[in-house]
Amino acid sequence: MEPWLIGLGVSIFCGLVGIIYWAGQSRDDKQDARHERHEKALADHVKEDVSAHERLRAVETKVDNLEREVSGIRERWHDMRGEISQTLSSWYLSIIKMIGKDDR
């Protein structure tokens, strides 16, 4: 075989290997870029998720405090209502007794 044909065959073979290597590197670079975008998106999502959980925790704490406060107010209202009813009934009885004494 002619030496120039061997050189041409080796050149073509090296060129094909180079093209295949370049295509693989290009694909790897694209996958790396895509992977980095996904990692950044995941990091952003985690940051938003943590922020949302912190806001939710703050709202839940506020709701717990308000529920406790409303419960205390409701309890005080029931106590006051009972005291007012008792005071009014004792006043009523004392007025009735005073009216009853005046009629005799």
CA-based R_g, the chain, Å: 44
Residue type, 2: E
Q: Considering its fold, how many domains does the chain have in total? A: 1
Per-residue pLDDT at 2: 85
Supply the pTM of this predicted model. 0.49
Confirm whether 53 is domain-assigned. yes
- Is residue 83 over pLDDT 80? yes
Confirm whether 59 is domain-assigned. yes
User: Which residue in the block uniquely carries the two structure tokens 């895509």?
Assistant: 34
Confirm whether 78 is domain-assigned. yes
Its domain, for residue 51, covers: 47-104
Per-residue pLDDT at 91: 95
Q: Give dist(CA 54, CA 48) in Å, integer.
A: 10
- Is residue 104 over pLDDT 60? no
For residue 27, what are its two tokens? Answer: 């694909």
Alpha carbon 17 to chain centroid distance?
Answer: 52
Confirm whether 91 is domain-assigned. yes
Confirm whether 96 is domain-assigned. yes
- Is residue 102 over pLDDT 80? no
Per-residue pLDDT at 70: 97
Confirm whether 41 is domain-assigned. no
Q: Give dist(CA 41, CA 19) in Å, integer.
A: 33
